[in-house]
């Protein structure tokens, strides 16, 4: 009982620590995510996902990331993130904003921001602050994921190591510098994947728990199509290790799949949306460069920005690959397949972003491998533990410092435009003399 209370206390503390640092970090990157709050508000106000009522706003933004389907305007991105945002947006719009607007200074500020939208028919008190709202929701979701990851790690590790991995996840990876900076798909995606993994790990002690992994795992695809990779890999793992519960796992996923199919047919007249189409994975003439760049490019390299993950690679190659029925093997397989897929995108660097953004969704899987490294570490001699531990501490410090820059210093994002647009001058991705995280404030 005491250990359960301690776990819950630490999980809550980790949540508030993470949320506080995420939300107070000044960089906000509402780029591709700019229409998420609008879509959520449209669901609340009009019970649809089109953005027709915001036509003036869309025009002022040059219809960025907007597609027209059957005469209606929609965000080009999957509906999942907006659905996750709906309860937050409703609470802010109906409860918190009406209270805050009673304060004269807050009311004046909101009115000034809302003046930009005065030609539309709805109230834009909340929408005029959509960047801050994105930051708030994204910070909450990422902090919740950190807390849940701690509880997941406690199934395998003592509380000290579980806490260490949770903090590495929060502050030594793109969770801090990317997922928490705005309501990208990455934050909700990681939450669903972590939720799935939580049930999968619980099933090691209580096999019937495996069925519940189907619900968040299916919803992960609604949020981000690349999650089809861990869906397939984890489904194979469950089929091989829990055949008696596989049908229940499928049944828990079915309502989400069925609902998504109905939505797609109602909007796109197709089973999947254009954004989720496999045709988006185009032949990339720079495929080899993309493979290397995703790992070691000075601007986007995963191991440049989070070298602490090299320990996860070591664990994956020395342990998971020789245990083909273990969860860590399927985590490693998912990561490798994800790496191959994102290298097929012509803009493999993820557009205007910071560091290895396109790897962000896989970070919960990396933490599983890092937990395997801890299992190995505990069997080392004291001298080896001291040497390896010192190296681990150095990589944690470097990783945290780099992602601190991405969350705190706007110049790290301005790097994408200055001196040239990265999307048209991609050779800058290999410029070791102009590292994004070394840009001055």
Query: How far, in Å, CA of 300 to CA of 251, rounded?
Result: 39
Q: Residue 62: which region, alpha, beta or left (left: phi > 0; alpha: psi -120 to 50)?
A: left
Across the range 283-294, mean pLDDT stands at 88
What is the phi/psi pair of residue 224, to 5°? -150, 120
CB 301 within 8 A of CB 356: yes
Per-residue model confidence as pLDDT tens digits over 105-158: 656 656 655 555 443 433 445 666 778 889 999 999 999 999 999 999 999 999
pTM of the model: 0.94
Look at 433 and 103; give whichever has higher pLDDT. 433
Per-residue model confidence as pLDDT tens digits over 24-51: 999 999 989 999 999 999 999 999 999 9
Q: What tokens appear for 141 in the block?
A: 């979701």
What is the DSSP track for 192-236?
HHHHHHHHHHHTTT-GGGGGGGHHHHHHHHHH-GGGHHHHHHHHH
Query: How far, in Å, CA of 93 to CA of 238, rounded?
Result: 41
Residue 5: band (very low, low, confident or very high) from pLDDT cuts 50, 70, 90: confident
Q: What is the mean pLDDT of the chain?
A: 91
Return the axis-axis angle of helices 228-241 and 186-202, rounded to nearest 10°: 0
Peptide bond into 183 cis (omega under 30): no
Angle at 333 (CA atoms; ends 317, 350), nearest 5 degrees: 105
Query: How far, in Å, CA of 323 to CA of 311, rounded?
Result: 18
Per-residue model confidence as pLDDT tens digits over 199-235: 999 999 999 999 999 999 999 999 999 999 999 999 9
pLDDT at 211: 97
Residue 285 has pLDDT above 80, yes or no: no
Find, among 159, 225, 121, the residue nearest to 4 by Cα: 159
Q: Which helix (H) or strand (E) holds 20?
A: helix 2-24
Domain ranges in the chain are 31-125, 135-438
Q: Is 381 in a helix, a strand, or coil?
A: coil
pLDDT at 122: 39
What is the phi/psi pair of residue 283, to 5°? -65, 120
pLDDT at 356: 97
Residue 388: band (very low, low, confident or very high) from pLDDT cuts 50, 70, 90: very high
Find, among 382, 392, 236, the residue nearest to 314 by Cα: 392
Across the range 68-80, mean pLDDT stands at 95
Look at 243 and 379; give whichever has higher pLDDT. 243
DSSP state of 182: S
Per-residue model confidence as pLDDT tens digits over 302-350: 999 999 999 999 998 887 777 778 899 999 999 999 999 999 998 899 9
Q: Is 68 in a helix, a strand, or coil?
A: strand
pLDDT at 119: 39
């Amino acid at each position: 009982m005491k250990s359960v209370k301690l776990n819950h206390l630490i999980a809550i503390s980790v949540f508030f620590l993470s949320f506080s640092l995420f939300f107070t970090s000044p960089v906000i990157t509402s780029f591709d995510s700019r229409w998420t709050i609008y879509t959520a508000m449209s669901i609340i106000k009009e019970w649809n996902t089109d953005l027709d009522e915001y036509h003036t706003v869309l025009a002022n933004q040059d219809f960025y990331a907007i597609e027209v389907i059957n005469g209606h305007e929609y965000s080009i991105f999957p509906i999942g993130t907006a659905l996750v945002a709906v309860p937050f947006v409703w609470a802010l719009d109906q409860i918190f904003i009406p209270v805050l607007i009673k304060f004269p200074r807050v009311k004046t500020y909101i009115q000034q921001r809302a003046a930009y939208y005065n030609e539309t028919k709805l109230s834009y008190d909340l929408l005029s602050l959509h960047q801050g709202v994105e930051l708030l929701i994204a910070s909450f979701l990422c902090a919740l994921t950190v807390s849940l990851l701690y509880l997941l790690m406690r199934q395998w590790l003592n509380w000290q190591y579980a806490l260490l991995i949770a903090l590495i996840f929060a502050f030594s990876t793109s969770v801090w510098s990317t997922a928490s900076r705005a309501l990208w798909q990455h934050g909700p995606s990681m939450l669903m994947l972590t939720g799935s993994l939580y049930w999968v790990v619980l099933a090691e002690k209580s096999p019937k728990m495996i069925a519940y992994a189907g619900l968040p795992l299916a919803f992960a695809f609604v949020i981000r199509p690349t999650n089809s990779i861990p869906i397939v890999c984890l489904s194979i793992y469950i089929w091989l290790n829990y055949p008696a519960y596989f049908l229940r796992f499928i049944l828990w996923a079915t309502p989400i799949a069925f609902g998504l199919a109905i939505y797609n047919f109602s909007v796109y007249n197709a089973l999947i949306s254009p954004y989720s189409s496999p045709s988006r994975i185009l032949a990339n003439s720079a495929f080899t460069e993309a493979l290397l760049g995703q790992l070691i490019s000075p601007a986007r390299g995963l191991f440049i920005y989070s070298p602490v993950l090299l320990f996860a690679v070591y664990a994956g190659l020395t342990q998971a690959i020789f245990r083909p029925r273990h969860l860590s093997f399927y985590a490693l397989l998912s990561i490798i397949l994800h790496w191959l897929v994102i290298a097929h995108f012509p803009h493999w660097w993820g557009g205007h972003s910071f560091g290895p953004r396109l790897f962000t969704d896989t970070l919960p899987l990396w933490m599983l491998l890092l937990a395997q490294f801890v299992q190995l570490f505990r069997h080392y001699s004291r001298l080896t533990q001291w040497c390896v531990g010192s190296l681990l501490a150095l990589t944690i410090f470097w990783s945290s410092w780099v992602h601190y820059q991405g969350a705190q210093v706007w110049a790290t994002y301005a790097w994408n435009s200055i001196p040239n647009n990265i999307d048209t001058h991609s050779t800058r991705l290999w410029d070791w003399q102009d590292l994004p995280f070394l840009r001055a404030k």
